[in-house]
Structure 1
Amino acid sequence: MTEKAQTVWNKLAKLPKPTLAELFADDPDRLARLATRLNIGEEGIRFDWSKTHLDEAHLAAFLELAEATGFTARREALFAGEIVNPTEGRAAEHTAQRGVGKDESVELARSYHARMAAIVEAIHRGAMGEVKHLIHVGIGGSALGPALAVDALAREGAMVDVHVVSNIDGTALEAAFKVCDPATTMLAVASKTFTTIETMTNAESVIGWLRENGVTDPYGRVVALTASPEKAVDWGVDETRILPFSESVGGRYSLWSSIGFPVAMALGWPDFAEMLEGAAVVDRHFRDADPADNIPLRAAFADQFYTRLRGCQTRAVFAYDERLALLPDYLQQLEMESNGKSVTFDGDAVDGPTAPITWGGVGTDAQHAVFQLLHQGTNIVPVDFVASIAPGHDLDLAHHRILLSNCFAQGAALMAGKASSDPARAYPGDRPSATILLDEVSPASFGALVAFHEHRTFANAVLLEINPFDQFGVELGKVIAKQIEKGGTTFDPSTEALLELAGIA
């Protein structure tokens, strides 16, 4: 950590920390200053951080920290397409996929999108015969983003029935086989390198299933989504059905590239384009807004307050909308793979915690499972509540009214608590939460929601002086797994015993 940043952290650590009740009582304008609406076309999202412990003194000091860690320069480098991933010597140009970034990169992304749109629309018109199902195989960012988007936006009226399969466990693939008709099924293979063992093994199994069930040219049913098109050709995909994306687009930020093909297949290209534009609204806000008014940066201030100053080891996300049930899973990878680091940009050991453990669930189910700990446990867990004003169903509005009432009540209860002469019935209160309230779950607002979290993750990395764009921590286990497959390597006694018991040794 730089000396300048350490000075600010020392200042932050010494600031008084009033309770939430005191903060509201002492500042009648608190809600107006800490709750912000971001308009996305005719829609919008409200971000409310008033139930966090951020006050004027902490906000001012965090702005000093942003300056000390070079936030403005780092942000400019991100959008300029400069190297922001120094360990791999790469830019991180996911925003260019949304039309915001270096001119050449934006133009390249547009050309790739035009190719993708043409293929999607041709398939929808029947150019590849009748297509009712799409099995999309990928892993990590090649699966989590598409799965979240399809589940959120294509539950009804999907143009194609999409099944995202990531797990190498054959049970996951068999579940897709059971509901897909081989005669009307396509395969999308999503792999940046086109060498990922889980993805390629699953892809081979889908090819075998198609062939065994009467499809004479199974490779003719394949679309490849990759940054390594030559490897896709070698594997057997016709070059006319390869949808490339740039090497500078990282896996967990790749939903906006051709990795989003299954989303476009399910929704149609116009809705996918709206998703891109919703994300671009957040890109432009993050790029242009002053740090004092920057919504993702303010979210990072709250994250750092609880992780670094309050010692909170986890952060919970609860989606009070069934359509966003996969959001916590998606954010786990985005946040923990990006910022779960132990060294700075310069390779020095960090002197404090980096990413908290992200977890969560769906309201109201989670209320009857984990909220006991949130209200009365000894762990202080900052919570994000995510909800939509408009329901996703046509049932009696009582369903949605009860859902939102529970969402808002949980935040109020965590803050207020309740005294009792019976210790078992006492709630300490003063527990933080933030609320992200969408007008509706639409392609545009969904795109904005995901882009907000991407920039929040980047802003946290800037404040921590770490690199959020590499992920070497996922490699060692893969290397050892390959050693096991090859055989001839000796491991520790426990591992050797497990291999023998499983019949692998």
Structure 2
Amino acid sequence: MNLKNKNISPIKTNSWIKLQEHFKEIKNISLKNFFLENKNRFDQFNVQFNKLLFDFSKNRINKKTINILSNLAIECKLEEYIYKMFSGEKINETENRSVLHTALRNFDKNKKIFINGVNIMEDIYFTIEKMKIFSEKIRNGIWKGYTNKPIKNIVNVGIGGSHIGPMMVVEALKSYSNKNLNIHFISNIDGSSLYYLFNKIDLDTTIFIISSKTFTTEETITNFKSILNFFIKKTKNKKFIKKHFIATTSNKKEAIKFGIPEKNIFLFGDWVGGRYSVWNAVGLSICLYIGFENFYSFLKGAYEIDLHFKNEKIEKNIPILLALIGIWNINFLKINNHLILPYNQSLQYFILYIQQLEMESNGKSVNRNGIKINYSTCPIIWGGLGNDSQHSFYQFLYQGTISSSFDFIIYIKDKYKELENHNKILFSNFLSQTRSLAFGNQKEEIIQELIIELKKKKYVNFLFPHKIIKGNKPSNSIILEELSPITLGNLMAIYEHKIFVQSIIWNIFAFDQWGVELGKKNSKKILLDLYKKNEINCYDSSTNNLINFYKKIFN
């Protein structure tokens, strides 16, 4: 293995040293002063891409900050790694795999990408065409259930990337849905999920999409087995499986073992990470719900950002800028708490999606050479719907003791003209919060307010410190003209590439998740012990006693 190019520790680059020096120069300059000193600040710190505006002017940066951060990306060979990813080199080295979710949405029909001598683009186009044909059969009522009725319910059974991504996109684009179809998502192996599902659906008008890359994922296969047993018990005929069960996987043999016919299996390669797999077969539930043309537009939106990411200069490249600003906030301003705050109800699951995408990718503490690192990588990612959260945890953001940075996200146009006043109130709240977190309040304003409110000056000194909002909280604003399949594809691809850029600069692998694998391994061992009748005494005292407590209650 050639370690030469990977052994680029960011803290040993010239740019990192310059950023440390630069931080000392501007650490005491507030956002308020940045704006006072530069009346054209917004013009210098925003990028527009089609129907998307990225405003990063409310960050504690100046032109010099961006220049040095750009040089850091160059020193860390970012351009070289972008080329490697798109061309199919095996940059996921711990698993010896390529990273080619971008190939799933490639619109260049002349593009060929070879893995082990096979042009994978042919398989990708085959799967997309198969999805088109199948979705049209379902949506047009041609595909019938075992009682010859058209399908009305879609149940997506998966977990992680096979669940969160499709669920998020379906919720975001439900205004594009086929009103004759209902969609349900099952991920948790808590039996109540299936109990309530079985009471909501009619089996003869339902298809189940079992989505698992390996087709061995414990939660997904456990749910699948229970659904399959329930189905066979009710229908009393295994032959009906072919009318109601679909698989999306990279392990065709395992799916066939469970009785799913080959024609019902939609394949994707092992070079697609689960959390990046929504763009092809794993997106089948999306394709069925919003229709193939809309799904195709969704892919196109991501492809547009792929081209932007590959070809645009750093100073106008949205994913790279978003990544570099994150590195500045995390590694130099020491802000390890980042919130995703969408203001539209349709984007309520976007927080979960980014949380998984980012924390499972970049939650690492060893570099690509296996050496423990001594700088911060992925921050804590959390958030909530902006307007609701203003009445929940925003108090903590304004006056709490832990620093935070933010991505505020909103789309402007909606389809409900009769509720236009709601739209304006929503946008005013969006702007108010970004401004208030950035600039806080003025001493004079507080005193004047208190005098007016109380009309008794003796209370001013007591209440004054409780009213202080210092501001100076960095944020990005991402504004979409509208939420459509294309703009959602844009937005999701921006974050995918942002995470990749940060992994390269931090010198970590973004496409494995060995911590998750350890949890799975331990779970299997404990499960075997739960079935044993005797008391358990082979773990630590806590685990032993908790297992034995469970056995006592359960039995």
TM-score (normalizing by structure 2) = 0.87
Match status 1:176 vs 2:197: yes
Matched-pair contact (CA < 8 Å) for 1:48–1:434: yes
2:159 to 120, 132, 139: 139
Out of 150, 153, 165, the residue aligned to residue 173 of structure 2 is: 153
Cα shift at 1:175: 2.9
Matched, 1:2 2:50: no
Contact 1:328-1:361 within 8 A present in 2 as well: yes
Residues 59-138 of structure 1 correspond to what in structure 2 (within 5 A)? 59-99=66-106, 102-103=112-113, 104-129=119-144, 130-138=150-158
The answer to whether the Cα contact below 8 Å between 1:364 and 1:406 also exists between their aligned partners in 2 is: yes
8 Å Cα contact 1:53-1:432 kept in structure 2 = yes
Equivalent AA in structure 1 for residue 216 of structure 2:
T
Q: Give me the whole-angstrom Cα distance separating, in 2, the residues matched to 1:72 and 1:483.
A: 44
CA displacement at 1:5 relative to structure 2:
4.9
Q: Which runs of 5+ in 2 are unaligned?
A: 1-6, 114-118, 145-149, 448-463
Contact 1:183 1:215 in 2 (8 A): no
CA distance in 2, matches of 1:72, 1:219: 48
Is the contact between residue 339 and residue 466 of structure 1 (CA under 8 Å) also seen in structure 2? yes
Q: Aligned with 1:502: secondary structure?
A: helix
> What letter matches 1:139 in structure 2?
I
CA contact 1:139–1:198 (8 Å) conserved in 2: yes
- What is residue 189 of structure 1 aligned with on the other side? 210
C-alpha separation in 2, matches of 1:393 and 1:230:
48
Task: Verify: 1:207 aligned to 2:228, yes or no.
Answer: yes
Which of 527, 537, 541 lines up with 1:493 in the alignment? Answer: 541
Q: Which moved more, 1:160-169 or 1:259-268?
A: 160-169
1:350 aligns with 2:373: yes
Partner of 2:460: none
Count matched residues.
501
Q: Distance in 2 between matches of 1:319 and 1:178?
A: 33
- Following the alignment from structure 1 to structure 2, what is the Cα–Cα distance between the partners of residues 398 and 215? 55
Distance (whole Å) between structure 2 residues aligned to residue 318 and residue 236 of structure 1: 43
d(CA) in 1 for partners of 2:221 and 2:240?
15
Conserved? CA contact 2:301–2:487, under 8 Å: yes
Q: Which ranges of 4 or more aligned residues in structure 1 deviate by more than 6 Å?
A: none
Partner SS for 2:491: helix
**Counterpart mapping for 1:258-297 below 5 A:** 258-297=281-320
Could you tell me how far apart the structure 2 residues matched to 1:152 and 1:486 are?
40
Report if aligned partners of 1:207, 1:218 keep a CA contact under 8 Å in 2.
Answer: no
The letter for the 1-side match of 2:8 is T
Mapped to 2, the partners of 1:242 and 1:26 lie a distance apart of 60
Bigger shift: residues 29-38 or 447-456:
29-38
Question: Could you tell me how far apart the structure 1 residues matched to 2:86 and 2:320 are?
Answer: 16
- Mapped to 2, the partners of 1:345 and 1:232 lie a distance apart of 34
- Mind listing any 5+ residue stretches in structure 1 that lack a counterpart? none
CA contact (8 A) 2:156 2:208 kept: yes
3-state SS of paired residue (2:433): helix
Q: Which amino acid aligns with 1:55?
A: N
1:26 aligns with 2:32: no
1:325 and 1:298, CA in 2 relative to 1: closer, same or farther beyond 3 A? same
* 1:231-250 matches, cutoff 5 A: 231-250=254-273
Supply the distance in 2 between the matched residues of 1:141 and 1:334 (Cα, whole angstroms).
8
- Give the conservation status (yes or no) of the 8 Å contact 1:80–1:102: no
Deviations along 1:439-474, one digit per CA (max 9) or x if unpaired, are 111111111111111001101111111110111110
**Identity over the aligned pairs, expressed in percent?**
33
Contact 2:177 2:291 in 1 (8 A): no
Which residue of structure 1 aligns with residue 473 of structure 2?
431
Instruction: Check 1:218–1:20 CA distance in 2 against 1; reply closer, same or farther (3 A cut).
Output: farther
CA–CA separation in structure 2 for the residues paired with 1:135 and 1:258: 15
1:37-56 maps to which residues of 2 (within 5 A)?
Answer: 37-39=48-50, 44-56=51-63
Q: Partner of 1:438: helix, strand, or coil?
A: strand
In structure 2, do the counterparts of structure 1 residues 392 and 180 end up closer, same or farther at CA, with 3 Å as the change threshold? farther
Distance in 2 between residues matched to 1:172 and 1:162, nearest whole Å: 14
Per-residue deviation, 1:392: 5.1
Within-5 A mapping of 1:418-497? 418=441, 419=443, 420=446, 422-487=464-529, 490-497=538-545
In structure 1, give the amino acid aligned to 2:320.
L
Deviations 1:474-500 (A, max 9, x none): 011111110012228711110111111
Distance 1:287 1:263 in 2: 27
Alpha-carbon shift at residue 321 of structure 1 (Å): 0.2
Q: What value does the CA root-mean-square deviation take over the aligned residues?
A: 1.7
Deviations 1:94-138, CA, capped at 9 Å, x for gaps: 000011675433333112111121122222233331100011100
Q: Distance in 1 between matches of 2:201 and 2:484?
A: 27
Distance 2:397 2:318 in 1: 25
For 1:152 and 1:78, how far apart are their aligned partners in 2?
28
**CA shift for structure 1 position 178:** 2.7
